[in-house]
């Protein structure tokens, strides 16, 4: 449902709300921090002050769900969040992840040993300045470590009050079901956008279960927003930008969808968030849906 909040000045509020885990209410259009880092998701941003402005502006525009990870930088994105937003507003929800290590730009080896996941959770708590992480996600399942050991460690952290809810990233329906034998899974985060829909089965199942679905690369990292975008013609007709249409399509696709478009530019942030205010007709949604890549 859409809240009665002022959506002119706080467009993210127009995306409606979703309760992560049944008790963490957030606006469905959030913000992902990966693009705040350097090339290859490695090192600091090229413009530190703009990165801080982006995070502060996101809150002003109604964003209350921020997705990050220890591996973004590594550690850079979490540090920026704390610098920009701490002490956090009561309504700000920060989701972070662990389970991918960094051996260089664009390199992401998975490590799911329980002691490593615990270390990273403890370090994220310290970096973010939190006593409890609202949503802690296993960034990837490590094939070298039993799934029950990886999720089991997160369950221990949850039982200790250090994390509130547990999520998974890049998983299948069967993997979520297996994880649910160990702990309650409240969210999944898979690659999904208008042109890349391999996770359709997981999305539909998540909707049936009331599990939040966080699509990463919701704009195909610019592939849906450039001059050659397949959305350009429809966007001009609608008086919107391709990015706004791509996000509006995601929001209409499912009530459990929680897109987290990221950017290092305040201008792009403001443009993206207006996507929450665009209402697609069923015919427009169907036309966009035909652009499957």
Positions annotated as catalytic residues are 72
Q: State how far the Cα of 132 lies from the Cα of 126, in Å rounded to an integer.
A: 10
Select from 105, 5, 130 the least CA-distant residue to 62.
5
Residue 143: CB atoms within 10 A of its CB come to 9
Dihedrals φ, ψ of 215, to 5°? -80, 120
Q: How far is CA 175 from CA 25, 97, 147, 180, in A?
A: 26, 17, 9, 9
β-strand pairing of 133-138 with 163-169:
parallel
- Work out the burial of residue 265: count CB atoms within 10 Å of its CB; fewer than 13 is exposed, 13-18 middle, 19 or more buried: middle
């Amino acid at each position: 449902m859409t809240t009665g909040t002022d959506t002119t000045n706080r467009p993210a509020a127009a995306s409606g709300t979703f309760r992560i885990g049944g008790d963490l209410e957030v606006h469905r259009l959030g913000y992902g921090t990966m693009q705040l880092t350097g090339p290859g998701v490695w090192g600091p941003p090229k413009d530190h002050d703009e990165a801080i402005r982006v995070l502060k502006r996101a809150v002003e525009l109604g964003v209350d769900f921020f997705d990050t990870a220890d591996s973004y930088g590594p550690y850079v994105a979490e540090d920026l969040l704390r610098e920009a937003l701490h002490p956090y507003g009561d309504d700000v929800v920060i989701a972070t992840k662990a389970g991918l290590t960094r051996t260089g730009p664009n390199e992401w080896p998975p490590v799911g040993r329980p002691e490593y996941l615990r270390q990273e959770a403890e370090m994220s708590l310290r970096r973010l300045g939190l006593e409890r992480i609202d949503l802690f996600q296993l960034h990837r399942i490590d094939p070298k470590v039993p799934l029950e050991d990886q999720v089991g460690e997160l369950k221990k952290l949850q039982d200790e009050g250090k994390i509130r809810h547990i999520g998974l990233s890049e998983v299948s329906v069967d993997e979520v079901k297996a994880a649910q034998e160990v702990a309650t899974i409240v969210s999944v985060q898979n690659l999904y956008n208008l042109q890349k829909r391999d996770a359709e089965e997981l999305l539909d199942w998540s909707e049936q279960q009331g599990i939040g679905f966080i699509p990463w690369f919701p704009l195909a990292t610019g592939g849906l927003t450039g001059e050659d975008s397949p959305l350009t013609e429809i966007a001009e007709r609608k008086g919107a930008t391709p990015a706004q249409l791509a996000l509006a399509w995601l929001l209409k696709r499912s009530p459990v969808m929680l897109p987290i478009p990221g950017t290092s530019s305040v201008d792009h942030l403001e443009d993206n968030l207006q996507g929450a205010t665009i209402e697609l007709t069923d015919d427009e949604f169907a036309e966009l849906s035909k652009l499957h890549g």
